[in-house]
Structure 1
Amino acid sequence: MSEKRAIATLTGAVLLSTLTIGAVHFQQHQERETMYKGVLRDDQRRQEKMRQREEDLANSQRKRELYERAQTVERASEGPI
């Protein structure tokens, strides 16, 4: 009877340890996937921000050209204010 109880205890401990290790590996895999998706989202946001900045720059350049055609622009003299 004692031997069966010891075998059952050992089997339970090995099974519990195996399940715990498997769960930890699964959790680590999920966290790694989540972090990778975050990197992809960051790259997408960065690209969108860069595109928006380029668009803003092009608009500013068009406005400047339009204003310079409509009015004369003089450079301020260099020196103390």
Structure 2
Amino acid sequence: MKTKFLKLVLPAFAILLAVGLAFATESNTVSQVAYYQTSSGVMEVTIGDDCEPNGDISCTYFGNQLYAEPSLSTPLGRNP
């Protein structure tokens, strides 16, 4: 009787544990604000954390260079 009960309960417990732990994980996405110049002025856009002030490859948004400040003095880029 005990072994029949364990054969039924242990797999069910393992499945419930797996489903519960799947919902316990979360992704850590960090976003930052970047600025770019358009014909109507300086615009703001939210980007991921892969662009930084000293990157080698330019970060762009619809073909516009992204900057760290609204003054457009520090260009953002990615490292390869």
Q: TM-score, normalised by structure 2?
A: 0.41
Q: Which has the higher contact order (CA 8 A, sep 6+)?
A: 2
> Rg: which structure is higher?
1
